[in-house]
Amino acid sequence: MPSVTLLGQSIVSGLLAGGLYGLLALGLSLSWGLLRLVNLGHFALAFLGAYLTYQLGTAFHWPAWASALVIVPAFFALGVGLHAVFAYFRVTEFTSLLVTFGITVILESLIQWFWTADFRRFETPYASTSSRIGPLFVPTLELLAALTATALALATWAWLRLTYVGKALRASAEDPEIAAAFGVNHRAQAFLLSGVSAAYAGVAGVFIALISTLAPAQIWSWLGVVFAVVIIGGLANPVGALLAGLLIGVSESVTMAVVTPAWAPLVSFSLLILILVARPGRA
């Protein structure tokens, strides 16, 4: 039986890992739920953001927050540009999978061409710092990532629920024709949402650079678990994505502490199946 401290520490660790899952899932959930685009390129964008943070930090000694100030708006513009391409070629929900898979492969190759396949680590003085709460340790950067994920999830939820643009986006996703009849300009709002999703990938990227050591192939290592988070959380549901991230993070972490780390990857998909089966209103 694990000690209470070990169990507590694994829950803390899981919550923080879940925060990062939630942060990565946020943009994906929005574009899938509201634009009907399954954007696999989201992961590649996040890693591009991570590598840019690394580059600006190591070559020009920029602090991560300064990099974020450049990367996030730049990624917003990139997201808008990408959506222009999707709109021009009338990319559908199904074809978006193929197109964005291709974009991911291209971005991975570009990253490898520029930064090589070797590991890259953005060393910062706060990389390994933690706060202590009783017997438990809370790593600073992971905490910051989880808090950012929470703030963005709540802000996005409020944006979608309380603003005209948010309501219009949801209406268009529900029934584009009726929404258009009410004067909703879905095309313009889709550009905005695509930009926001890409900007969120940029935010996630900054944290990935601070927390992890980078290698191009790691783009794919997040894919399965983040997809599970998006589906469990519900499409276009930012708070749901965050909560699902926390749930999977804690479940994986407790499995590692109580059973064995080798079982952790089974958890996210077992949870996904269980929740899909038990979810009320399923067909």
Partner 1 sequence: MADSPGLMRRLTAVVAALALVGVALPAGAAPSGPPIRIGSTLALTGPLAPTALIHKIAGEIYVEQLNRGNGLLGRPVEWVLFDDQSKPDLTRSLYEKLITVDKVDLIMGPYATSGILAAMGVAQRYQKMIIHHSFGMPHLATYEMHFPVAPFGPEPQKTVPGMVFDGLATTKTPPKTVTIVTSKFPSAQYQSNGAREVAEKRGLKVLLYLEYEFGTRDWGSIAARVKDANADFLWVGALGLDGNQLLEALKKLDYSPPRHFHLFPAPGPMITAPEARLALSNTFFEEHPPFTNDPATARLVALFKEGATKAGLPYTAVDTQAAGSFAAWQVLEAAIAATKSLDDKVLAQWLRKNRVDTVEGKLRFDGPNNYGDDLSKMRQVQDGKWLVVWPREFAAPGARINLP
Q: What is residue 227's three-state secondary structure?
A: helix
Residue of 24, 27, 50, 120 interacting with partner 1 (CB under 8 A): 120
Residue of 73, 84, 106, 121 interacting with partner 1 (CB under 8 A): 121
Segment interacting with partner 1, rule: CB under 8 A, options 46-54, 161-169, 176-184, 249-257: 249-257
Segment interacting with partner 1, rule: CB under 8 A, options 117-125, 178-186, 192-200, 239-247: 117-125
- Does residue number 74 form part of the binding site for partner 1 (CB under 8 A)? no
Pull the structure tokens for residue 107. Answer: 């971005």
> Shortest CA distance to 41 belongs to which of 243, 222, 215?
222
- Does residue number 17 form part of the binding site for partner 1 (CB under 8 A)? yes
Q: Distances in Å between the alpha carbon of 235 and those of 15, 139, 191, 238?
A: 21, 30, 18, 8
Matching residue, tokens 């629920």: 161
- Does residue number 69 form part of the binding site for partner 1 (CB under 8 A)? no
Residue of 92, 137, 274, 279 interacting with partner 1 (CB under 8 A): 137
- Does residue number 30 form part of the binding site for partner 1 (CB under 8 A)? no
Residue of 216, 233, 240, 245 interacting with partner 1 (CB under 8 A): 216
How many whole angstroms separate alpha carbon 182 and alpha carbon 165? 13
Q: Is the dihedral of CA 3, 5, 8, 9 positive or negative?
A: negative
Residue of 70, 110, 171, 215 interacting with partner 1 (CB under 8 A): 215
- Does residue number 251 form part of the binding site for partner 1 (CB under 8 A)? no
- Does residue number 117 form part of the binding site for partner 1 (CB under 8 A)? yes
**Residues touching partner 1: how many (CB under 8 A)?**
49
Q: Distances in Å between the alpha carbon of 164 and those of 26, 59, 156, 184, 192?
A: 20, 43, 13, 10, 13
Confirm if 50 and 219 have CB atoms less than 8 A apart. Answer: no
Binding-residue pattern over the window 145 to 164 for partner 1, x denoting contact by CB under 8 A: --------------------
